[in-house]
Amino acid sequence: MTVREWVVHWQEIYDKPKSRPTTYAAHDYVFKNHILPGLGDMRLAELTESMVGAFLDNRKRFGSHRPESTNYPGLGDDAMRHIHRLLQQCLDQAVEDCEMEKNPARAFHYTKPKTVKANILSALEVEDYLDAAAQLGYLPMLLLALTAGLRQGELIALKWSDLNVQEGTLTIHEGRAVERRELLEYGGETRTISLPYQTVQLLEQEHTKHP
Protein backbone atom coordinates (compact mmCIF):
# COMPACT_ATOMS: atom_id res chain seq x y z
CA MET A 1 0.00 0.00 0.00
CA THR A 2 1.30 3.45 -0.90
CA VAL A 3 0.99 6.56 1.24
CA ARG A 4 -1.51 7.89 -1.31
CA GLU A 5 -3.73 4.82 -0.97
CA TRP A 6 -3.62 5.03 2.81
CA VAL A 7 -4.48 8.75 2.81
CA VAL A 8 -7.55 8.13 0.62
CA HIS A 9 -8.64 5.37 3.02
CA TRP A 10 -7.95 7.49 6.13
CA GLN A 11 -9.86 10.47 4.78
CA GLU A 12 -12.93 8.42 3.94
CA ILE A 13 -13.03 6.19 7.04
CA TYR A 14 -11.58 8.36 9.81
CA ASP A 15 -11.46 12.02 8.79
CA LYS A 16 -14.66 12.74 6.89
CA PRO A 17 -17.12 11.27 9.46
CA LYS A 18 -15.53 13.14 12.39
CA SER A 19 -14.50 16.51 10.92
CA ARG A 20 -16.49 19.61 10.10
CA PRO A 21 -16.92 20.08 6.33
CA THR A 22 -14.62 23.10 6.37
CA THR A 23 -11.99 21.20 8.37
CA TYR A 24 -12.19 18.25 6.01
CA ALA A 25 -11.78 20.59 3.03
CA ALA A 26 -8.71 22.16 4.67
CA HIS A 27 -7.22 18.71 5.29
CA ASP A 28 -7.90 17.73 1.69
CA TYR A 29 -6.07 20.84 0.47
CA VAL A 30 -2.99 20.02 2.56
CA PHE A 31 -2.94 16.43 1.35
CA LYS A 32 -3.34 17.29 -2.34
CA ASN A 33 -0.96 20.26 -2.41
CA HIS A 34 1.74 19.19 0.02
CA ILE A 35 1.75 15.68 1.48
CA LEU A 36 0.79 13.60 -1.55
CA PRO A 37 3.09 15.34 -4.06
CA GLY A 38 5.99 14.71 -1.69
CA LEU A 39 5.20 11.31 -0.18
CA GLY A 40 2.23 9.87 -2.07
CA ASP A 41 4.07 7.32 -4.22
CA MET A 42 6.18 5.89 -1.38
CA ARG A 43 5.33 2.56 0.22
CA LEU A 44 3.59 3.20 3.53
CA ALA A 45 5.31 0.38 5.42
CA GLU A 46 8.73 1.50 4.14
CA LEU A 47 8.40 5.17 5.13
CA THR A 48 11.38 6.23 7.27
CA GLU A 49 12.33 9.20 9.42
CA SER A 50 14.86 10.32 6.81
CA MET A 51 12.18 10.31 4.09
CA VAL A 52 9.78 12.33 6.23
CA GLY A 53 12.58 14.67 7.29
CA ALA A 54 13.60 15.31 3.69
CA PHE A 55 9.96 15.96 2.77
CA LEU A 56 9.44 18.45 5.61
CA ASP A 57 12.70 20.23 4.81
CA ASN A 58 11.71 20.49 1.15
CA ARG A 59 8.32 21.99 2.04
CA LYS A 60 9.93 24.40 4.48
CA ARG A 61 12.42 25.66 1.88
CA PHE A 62 10.41 25.58 -1.33
CA GLY A 63 6.72 25.30 -0.40
CA SER A 64 4.79 23.71 -3.25
CA HIS A 65 7.24 25.05 -5.86
CA ARG A 66 9.98 23.13 -7.61
CA PRO A 67 13.51 23.84 -6.32
CA GLU A 68 14.68 24.84 -9.80
CA SER A 69 12.13 27.65 -9.95
CA THR A 70 13.60 31.15 -9.86
CA ASN A 71 11.01 32.21 -7.31
CA TYR A 72 10.08 29.68 -4.65
CA PRO A 73 8.93 31.17 -1.34
CA GLY A 74 9.10 28.63 1.45
CA LEU A 75 6.42 27.88 4.01
CA GLY A 76 6.07 29.61 7.36
CA ASP A 77 5.94 27.99 10.77
CA ASP A 78 2.14 27.88 10.91
CA ALA A 79 1.86 26.09 7.56
CA MET A 80 4.57 23.60 8.50
CA ARG A 81 2.89 22.93 11.83
CA HIS A 82 -0.40 22.11 10.07
CA ILE A 83 1.29 19.84 7.51
CA HIS A 84 3.24 17.95 10.17
CA ARG A 85 0.28 17.60 12.52
CA LEU A 86 -1.97 16.21 9.77
CA LEU A 87 0.70 13.80 8.55
CA GLN A 88 1.37 12.61 12.09
CA GLN A 89 -2.34 12.12 12.79
CA CYS A 90 -2.82 10.14 9.60
CA LEU A 91 0.21 7.91 10.23
CA ASP A 92 -0.75 7.35 13.88
CA GLN A 93 -3.87 5.61 12.61
CA ALA A 94 -1.79 3.54 10.20
CA VAL A 95 0.26 2.27 13.15
CA GLU A 96 -2.90 1.54 15.13
CA ASP A 97 -4.30 -0.40 12.16
CA CYS A 98 -1.02 -2.35 11.85
CA GLU A 99 -0.22 -0.94 8.41
CA MET A 100 3.22 0.21 9.64
CA GLU A 101 5.37 -0.50 12.70
CA LYS A 102 6.00 3.05 13.91
CA ASN A 103 5.17 6.59 12.91
CA PRO A 104 8.28 8.32 11.49
CA ALA A 105 6.60 11.74 11.68
CA ARG A 106 6.82 11.58 15.49
CA ALA A 107 10.57 12.12 15.27
CA PHE A 108 9.92 15.77 14.36
CA HIS A 109 8.44 18.56 16.44
CA TYR A 110 7.15 22.05 15.76
CA THR A 111 6.73 24.48 18.62
CA LYS A 112 3.24 25.64 19.44
CA PRO A 113 2.37 29.24 18.58
CA LYS A 114 2.32 31.80 21.35
CA THR A 115 -1.07 32.33 22.93
CA VAL A 116 -2.74 35.44 21.55
CA LYS A 117 -4.62 37.47 24.11
CA ALA A 118 -8.24 38.08 23.13
CA ASN A 119 -9.12 41.66 22.31
CA ILE A 120 -12.42 42.15 24.14
CA LEU A 121 -14.60 45.02 22.97
CA SER A 122 -15.57 47.65 25.50
CA ALA A 123 -19.21 48.66 25.95
CA LEU A 124 -18.57 51.81 23.90
CA GLU A 125 -16.92 49.80 21.10
CA VAL A 126 -19.87 47.39 21.04
CA GLU A 127 -22.23 50.35 20.71
CA ASP A 128 -20.19 51.77 17.81
CA TYR A 129 -20.07 48.31 16.20
CA LEU A 130 -23.86 47.93 16.33
CA ASP A 131 -24.46 51.49 15.11
CA ALA A 132 -22.27 50.81 12.07
CA ALA A 133 -24.04 47.48 11.48
CA ALA A 134 -27.43 49.23 11.54
CA GLN A 135 -26.26 51.85 9.03
CA LEU A 136 -25.04 49.10 6.69
CA GLY A 137 -28.29 47.15 7.04
CA TYR A 138 -26.62 44.15 8.71
CA LEU A 139 -27.73 44.67 12.30
CA PRO A 140 -29.69 41.38 12.77
CA MET A 141 -26.85 39.21 11.45
CA LEU A 142 -24.05 41.02 13.27
CA LEU A 143 -26.01 41.25 16.51
CA LEU A 144 -26.56 37.49 16.28
CA ALA A 145 -22.83 36.94 15.73
CA LEU A 146 -22.03 39.15 18.71
CA THR A 147 -24.53 37.69 21.17
CA ALA A 148 -24.34 34.02 20.15
CA GLY A 149 -20.58 33.74 19.59
CA LEU A 150 -20.98 31.87 16.30
CA ARG A 151 -18.13 31.01 13.98
CA GLN A 152 -18.29 32.65 10.56
CA GLY A 153 -19.02 29.33 8.85
CA GLU A 154 -21.85 28.57 11.28
CA LEU A 155 -23.36 32.01 10.79
CA ILE A 156 -23.57 31.91 7.00
CA ALA A 157 -24.92 28.33 7.01
CA LEU A 158 -27.99 29.15 9.13
CA LYS A 159 -31.55 28.62 7.91
CA TRP A 160 -34.65 30.39 9.16
CA SER A 161 -35.94 26.99 10.31
CA ASP A 162 -33.06 26.89 12.82
CA LEU A 163 -34.69 29.74 14.76
CA ASN A 164 -37.36 28.92 17.33
CA VAL A 165 -39.07 32.23 18.08
CA GLN A 166 -41.37 30.81 20.77
CA GLU A 167 -38.51 29.24 22.73
CA GLY A 168 -36.01 31.99 21.91
CA THR A 169 -33.42 29.45 20.76
CA LEU A 170 -31.22 28.75 17.76
CA THR A 171 -30.10 25.30 16.59
CA ILE A 172 -26.58 25.06 15.17
CA HIS A 173 -25.85 22.19 12.78
CA GLU A 174 -22.22 21.09 13.09
CA GLY A 175 -22.23 19.26 9.74
CA ARG A 176 -23.52 22.09 7.58
CA ALA A 177 -21.37 24.39 5.48
CA VAL A 178 -21.47 26.77 2.55
CA GLU A 179 -19.01 25.84 -0.19
CA ARG A 180 -18.83 27.75 -3.47
CA ARG A 181 -22.09 29.51 -2.54
CA GLU A 182 -23.87 26.18 -2.14
CA LEU A 183 -25.32 25.01 1.17
CA LEU A 184 -24.14 21.47 1.91
CA GLU A 185 -25.29 19.21 4.73
CA TYR A 186 -23.17 16.29 5.90
CA GLY A 187 -25.18 15.25 8.94
CA GLY A 188 -23.46 15.41 12.30
CA GLU A 189 -24.34 16.80 15.70
CA THR A 190 -26.40 19.84 16.61
CA ARG A 191 -26.38 22.19 19.56
CA THR A 192 -29.06 24.59 20.75
CA ILE A 193 -28.33 27.99 22.26
CA SER A 194 -30.57 30.57 23.91
CA LEU A 195 -30.79 34.04 22.40
CA PRO A 196 -31.50 37.41 24.02
CA TYR A 197 -35.03 38.69 23.46
CA GLN A 198 -33.84 41.68 21.40
CA THR A 199 -31.91 39.41 19.03
CA VAL A 200 -34.93 37.17 18.51
CA GLN A 201 -37.12 40.21 17.79
CA LEU A 202 -34.71 41.58 15.19
CA LEU A 203 -34.38 38.19 13.50
CA GLU A 204 -38.16 37.79 13.41
CA GLN A 205 -38.52 41.21 11.79
CA GLU A 206 -35.80 40.36 9.27
CA HIS A 207 -37.54 37.09 8.43
CA THR A 208 -40.71 39.03 7.63
CA LYS A 209 -38.73 41.12 5.13
CA HIS A 210 -36.87 38.13 3.67
CA PRO A 211 -38.98 34.97 4.16
Establish if 22 belongs to a structural domain: yes
Establish if 53 belongs to a structural domain: yes
Angle between helices 139-148 and 123-136 (to 10 degrees): 150
Establish if 100 belongs to a structural domain: yes
Q: In this structure, are 96 and 171 located in the same domain?
A: no
**Domain total of the chain:** 2
Task: Show the domain range for 148.
Answer: 123-209
Q: In this structure, are 72 and 32 located in the same domain?
A: yes
CA distances from 44 to 39, 170, 176 (A): 9, 45, 33
Q: In this structure, are 78 and 150 located in the same domain?
A: no
Q: In this structure, are 137 and 192 located in the same domain?
A: yes
Per-residue pLDDT of the chain (211 residues; tens, 9 = 90+): 999 999 999 999 999 888 877 788 889 999 999 999 999 999 999 999 999 999 999 888 887 655 555 566 678 888 899 999 999 999 999 999 999 999 999 999 987 777 777 788 888 888 998 999 999 988 998 899 888 888 888 888 899 999 999 999 999 887 777 776 777 776 667 889 999 999 999 999 999 888 7
Q: How many CB atoms lie within 10 A of CB 166?
A: 6
**CATH number of the domain where residue 197 is located:** 1.10.443.10
Report d(CA 152, CA 16) in Å as an integer.
Answer: 21
User: Rounded to two decimals, what is the model's pTM?
Assistant: 0.62
Establish if 185 belongs to a structural domain: yes
Establish if 70 belongs to a structural domain: yes
Q: In this structure, are 194 and 103 located in the same domain?
A: no
CA angle 109, 114, 119 (to 5 degrees): 150
Report d(CA 65, CA 67) in Å as an integer.
Answer: 6
